[in-house]
Structure 1
Amino acid sequence: MDRSQKSDAVAQLNAALKEVGVVVVTRNSGLTVAQSTALRGQMREAGASYKVAKNSLAKLALKDTAYEGLEEHLTGPTALAYSEDPVAAAKAAVEFAKTNDKLEIVGGSMGGQMLDEAGIRALASLPSLDELRAKLVGLVNAPATKIAQVVNAPAAKLARVFGAYAAKDAA
């Protein structure tokens, strides 16, 4: 990789890191190509990205972002998982680490808040942004449904009473 390619890679990673809500640093010692491909696919499905970058380039890319404090975690064979959804990258990394002991969660950051491994695991246990939105819509929709049921109930009762009188008269 020549100098211009390195500066392009740093600029792309820096631009991506300025747009995300969470960054998870992982140590991936001994992952095979197939396992790495599976991890990338799992990240993509969750709406996250997974980038293996040279530590010196990653440190340069972290400058002028909310994630500058992550530089201390960038030692050894590391990679960055990041997503706009504050839970997606953490959830995908933790799920993959459960089934593969070669991936280690080192730490991360959500916005400017530094998180250790336990913090990332706690973040991964939270519901995703889409799940929270669905719950909120359900909570907002429930009172309207109940009001419609209460309003329709008297009419339904009247219809049943009239139906019973009609059946009684017919018999």
Structure 2
Amino acid sequence: MTRKEKGQLIEELTGKFTENPHFYLADGSGMTVAETNAFRQLVFERGLEYKVVKNSLIQKALENQEEDYSAMFGSLKGFSGILFSPEVGNAPAKVIKEFHKKNDTEKPLLKAAAIDTDVYVGAEHLTPLSELKSKKDMLGDIVGLLQSPAKNVISALQSGGHTVSGLVKALEERAQ
């Protein structure tokens, strides 16, 4: 690969990291060709993108970012694949866990993950990352919690509507 081609690839990767606030670094070394193809297919089906790139090029592209991703540099050793997720931060973790379960394997391993500007390094973060709620899910939960008290008051008033109106009339008559 020529210096010019490397420069173009670094620019492309820099753009990918900028466009995708959520990305994971995974180690797929030791996977067979069939396993790799199955993993790529699963990634594609889930609407994610998977790219295998040299570690030095990944590091240079990360250095071009406004955010500080230097904590990830230590995990840029050996085989590195990048999973890009444009919208949902936990989608790559879910794909990796699903692949592990379907194929009864521990590969690919999570090396590091960046969700918005937070960096997680190490395979021990895979389960917690896969259980994260998306922004859409969190907003739905918040709206549901906010609506709950109002719904309870309305249902209480509707269920005892006759009793409440009778009570109000009795209080009104007593006041006169």
Distance 1:59 1:79 in 2: 13
The corresponding residue for 2:155 is 149
| Structure 1 residues without counterparts, runs of 5 or longer | 159-171
- Residue of structure 1 aligned with 2:136, choices 121, 130, 135: 130
Q: How does 1:1-171 map to 2 (within 5 A)?
A: 1-65=1-65, 66=67, 67-83=69-85, 84-98=87-101, 99-110=104-115, 111-155=117-161
| Closer/same/farther in 2, CA of residues 151 and 90 from structure 1, 3 Å limit | same
Provide TM-score, normalisation by structure 1. Answer: 0.71
Length-normalised TM-score, structure 2: 0.70
- 1:156–1:80 Cα change, 3 Å: farther
- Name the CA shift for 1:39/1:142 in 2 (closer, same or farther; >3 Å): farther
What is the aligned partner in structure 2 of residue 163 from structure 1? none
Shift of 1:94: 3.0
Could you list the runs of 4 or more consecutive aligned residues of structure 1 that deviate by over 6 angstroms after TM superposition?
none
Query: In 2 relative to 1, CA 112–64 (structure 1 residues): closer, same or farther, beyond 3 Å?
Result: farther
The residue aligned with 2:173 is: none
Q: Residue 86 of structure 1: SS of its match in structure 2?
A: coil
